[in-house]
Structure 1
Amino acid sequence: MRPHVDQRQARVLSLVRARGSARVADLARELGISPVTLRRDVEAMAARGEIRRMHGVISRLEPDPAGAEHGGAGSGTGTGSGSGTGRGGGLVIGMVVPTAEYYYADVVRGAREVVEARGARLAVGLTRYLAGEDRTQADRLLSTGADGLLLTPNWEAGAPGPGEGAWTAELPVPTVLVERWAPPGHPAAALDRVASDHADGAARAVAHLAERGHKRIALACRETPTAGRLRTGFAAAVATLGLEPAPAWPAAGTWPAAGAGTAAGAAAPAEAEAFARTLDYLCAAVAEGGVTAALIHSDTDAIMLIPRLQARGVRVPEDLAVITYDDEVAELADVPLSAVAPAKREVGARAAGMLLDRLEDRGTGREGPRQHLDLLPRLTVRP
């Protein structure tokens, strides 16, 4: 009979405290339980502040000088508890992100793991993409004692628009931009930053489809902070590989009215209308434009589009091969989809490490140059 969950977790805690650290895979074998079960236990124990986890390894929390053990971070929408005695001991890292769900859930996890491992504490502020909320959350975190900020501003194009974003370079603490960038000459361009190279990710998808024999490939993506970089990489790869351009995305005002052969009614909200227009574009691109493959951002859009495409006579993958971008749920489609996955967790981890290094170097006279780090996404090909 399997031991009760409390007994099992108590055994894990005892072993980790005795050894200092242990690999999750090794412990699972030793205890005779599946890695999935142990990872679930580890998540629960870390959330309660009993252990520290990072990259497949769990370790005990060292006691502070008063003998009290420090807790781990709370949920992605809250703050960590306590601070440890590691290199970042006593530091509070503020993190401002649009949401702690979907894409940014992994970004926050990556940052939290590094912050905890180095004995600091993470506090998270959410903006929900509301105008001005990024600055409000940054100010709030600073007022509660944040020593540095990991910042994802609400820039619609992923970079600041005209007259936007200069405040990020005027913050009184070291700041690292996360999944955002600023053009040369903009004040925020002088900040450290870590981001996914979405242009490279789009290019990888195009190259893979071209290797499979596709000559005309379409890009379908709604307007998000990722879209501009996807279009840049997509267009560059099409030109470099000598592919035939797909039909142009219709300019604003040239779409048929919603409801005219679309899935949305005349009074449909903007989200449904944008989805219907994407469906119309892909159908026309296949039927009239000779398109045989598409890169679709995001996974959820692709999963919703595919049955609608098939209902309109476009077979997937026979008539249209599909690669999705994000790889959050692509493998959960009826037929698992190949997808490009930005290194979300690593983006958060690298950004947190960069900020902690900057904080530790401050005032020592050995502060290094600013860094702009782009992490390349990975393409996962599924049958």
Structure 2
Amino acid sequence: MRESAAERHDRLLGLVRERGSARVSDLASQLGVSPVTARRDVEELAGRGLLDRVHGSVSWPQDAPTGAAGPGSTGSGLVLGMLAPSSTYYFAEVIRGAHEAAARAGARLILRISDYRPQEDHARTEGLLSAGAEGLLVAPGWQDPGDPAAFGDWIASLPVPTVLLERRPTAGSPLDGLDRVCSDHAHGVLLAVRHLVDLGHGAPLLMARADSPTAVAVRSGYVEALGVLGLRAPQDVIDSVPAELAPDAFEQAVQALREAVLSGVATAALIHNDVDAIQVVQRLAELDVRVPEDLALIAYDDEVAALADTPLTAVAPPKREVGRHATELLVERLGQSAGAPRRHLTLLPQLRVRDSCGARLP
């Protein structure tokens, strides 16, 4: 099976962490990739604050507080492990927040990426423990509703303090008793729906994926938001898929949204996620449906929404703050007795208003 970019990044980070520093040309040889690919990987990881880059070489970040030593030694002596489903898009900011908080605490953060393969989460977490992790930040690579039950029981029996990131287990399950830090996506959806209604629109349509815990939370939050505001959905949720993976299904979704606009079923929509929203707006323009003139639109995630031709209003989960608070909670937990109460911390998204909603309807 061809190695993914996330897996390659994981190996690259491991090599630099073990050595403290390395030349990019040597990393290319070790990874079995071209120097161009290695340079691109290094630039991406350095841009996210996971590596320091100077004159053709890279090193493990030296931004720990005064008193922290070189690789393998930190001011507090703590080594923290982090399992994330991806090192890009949404989780790039979560990782950055965790890295910054670990540095402030004088701790070393070790990263493993599952590439949204939950069947590999356990083995990668064991790798973190073998590398010396004394506490763990865990964001399982769950995608399907059945994944927590199929690939989650082991998390509750980990031998070190563990904090869940952006994951809400089933109430009453063993995982529900762990510390966790999550974004309140239901609140984020409510902010979006309320904003559109306040502009004079009826209940907006929802176009959303169903391939991640965030997508599932957005869908359930939509139902909850309509109930809070006393609204009824104008029609069923339009299932969204990545255009590059399923172009026919993507076109079908866009055509369904276009038909809803032209028939007057809806004048507003919420789309998860940003990338899908930008591609939907582009395709709608080709079909003579304009944003915001014909359709007011809000995106969910706010990763690239501001970069659209018409900057998109977007719900912004507090991604970096999730990583930061989770790391701070883990460091605090490591200094407490085993009987200290567990905590569930929920952080509220923000609505960032741009041009895609237009003015109030007459």
TM-score relative to the length of structure 2: 0.77
- For 2:129, the equivalent position in structure 1 comes to 142
Q: Provide the C-alpha distance between the structure 1 equivalents of 2:333 and 2:300, rounded to a whole number of angstroms.
A: 32
Structure 2 contact 134–160 (Cα < 8 Å) conserved: yes
Aligned-pair CA distance for 1:379:
0.5
Counterpart position of 1:355: 330
Q: Does 1:83 align with 2:73?
A: yes
**What's the counterpart of residue 246 of structure 1?**
234
Mapped to 2, the partners of 1:148 and 1:203 lie a distance apart of 35
In structure 2, relative to structure 1, the CA distance for the partners of 1:161 and 1:127 (3 Å cut) is: closer
Question: Cα gap change, 1:186/1:90 in structure 2, threshold over 3 Å: closer, same or farther?
Answer: same
For 2:250, the equivalent position in structure 1 comes to 275
Q: Secondary structure at the match of 1:243?
A: coil
Using the TM superposition, give the Cα deviation of residue 159 of structure 1 relative to its aligned residue in structure 2, in angstroms: 8.0
What corresponds to 1:62 in structure 2?
66
Report the Cα distance in structure 2 between the residues aligned to 1:298 and 1:131, rounded to whole angstroms: 21
2:295 to 320, 336, 346: 320
Equivalent positions of 1:35-54 (< 5 A) are 44=52, 48=59, 52=63
Question: Following TM superposition, by how much is the alpha carbon of 1:286 offset from its aligned partner in structure 2, in angstroms?
Answer: 1.3
Residue 163 of structure 1 deviates from its aligned partner by 4.5
Aligned mate of 1:118, from 101, 105, 108: 105
Q: Name the CA distance, whole Å, in 2 between partners of 1:321 and 1:50.
A: 43
Contact 1:111–1:345 (8 Å) recurs in 2:
yes
Aligned match of 2:171 in 184, 200, 205?
A: 184
Asked if residue 132 in structure 1 is aligned to residue 127 in structure 2, the reply is no
Match of 1:309 among 284, 304, 309: 284
More divergent stretch after superposition (323-332 vs 149-158): 149-158
C-alpha separation in 2, matches of 1:185 and 1:244: 31
Distance 1:131 1:315 in 2: 40
Q: Of 200, 205, 211, which residue of structure 2 is paired with 1:213?
A: 200
Residue type at the aligned position of 1:225? P
* Counterparts in 2 of 1:336 and 1:244: CA distance versus 1, 3 Å: same
Aligned to 2:155: 168
8 Å Cα contact 1:160/1:182 also seen in 2: no
- Equivalent of residue 285 in structure 1, options 251, 260, 277: 260
1:252-306: per-residue Cα shift (whole Å, max 9, x none)?
Answer: xxx9xxxxxxx98xxxx85324422321221122123520011111111111111
CA–CA separation in structure 2 for the residues paired with 1:99 and 1:270: 18
Partner of 2:309: 334
Q: Is 1:373 paired with 2:345?
A: yes
CA drift of 1:368 comes to 2.4
User: 1:56 aligns to what?
Assistant: none
Structure 2: distance between partners of 1:189 and 1:160:
15
Measure the CA separation in 2 of the matches of 1:128 and 1:362. Answer: 34
Counterpart of 1:343 in structure 2 is: 318
Query: Residue 180 of structure 1: SS of its match in structure 2?
Result: coil
In structure 1, the partner of 2:222 is 234
How many residues are matched? 303
Verify the 8 A CA contact 1:292 1:319 in the aligned structure 2.
Answer: yes
Q: What is the root-mean-square deviation of aligned Cα atoms in Å?
A: 2.7
* Contact 2:205–2:234, Cα closer than 8 Å, also in 1: yes
Q: Does 272-281 or 134-143 show the bigger shift? A: 272-281
Distance 2:53 2:261 in 1: 51
Q: Tell me, which stretches of 5 or more residues in structure 2 are unaligned?
A: 1-46, 356-362
Kindly indicate whether the alpha-carbon contact (under 8 Å) linking 1:157 and 1:227 is maintained by their aligned counterparts in 2: no
Alpha-carbon deviation of 1:249?
3.1
Correspondence for 1:225:
213
Per-residue Cα deviation, 1:182-219 (whole angstroms, up to 9, x for no partner) = 12221111111011111111111001001100113111
Q: CA deviation at 1:50?
A: 7.5
Larger CA Rg, structure 1 vs 2: 1
CA distance in structure 2 between the partners assigned to 1:201 and 1:159 by the alignment? 25
> What's the offset of the Cα at 1:44?
4.7
Cα contact 2:238–2:257 (8 A) shared by 1: no
User: What is the DSSP-based 3-state SS (H/G/I as helix, E as strand, rest coil) of the residue aligned with 2:226?
Assistant: helix
Tell me the secondary structure at the aligned position of residue 52 of structure 1: coil
Structure 1 residue 237: Cα displacement:
1.6
Shift of 1:91: 1.1
Is the CA contact 1:314–1:320 (under 8 Å) kept in the aligned structure 2?
Answer: yes
Query: For residue 83 of structure 2, what is the aligned residue in structure 1?
Result: 96
Structure 2 CA distance, aligned partners of 1:247 and 1:373?
A: 34
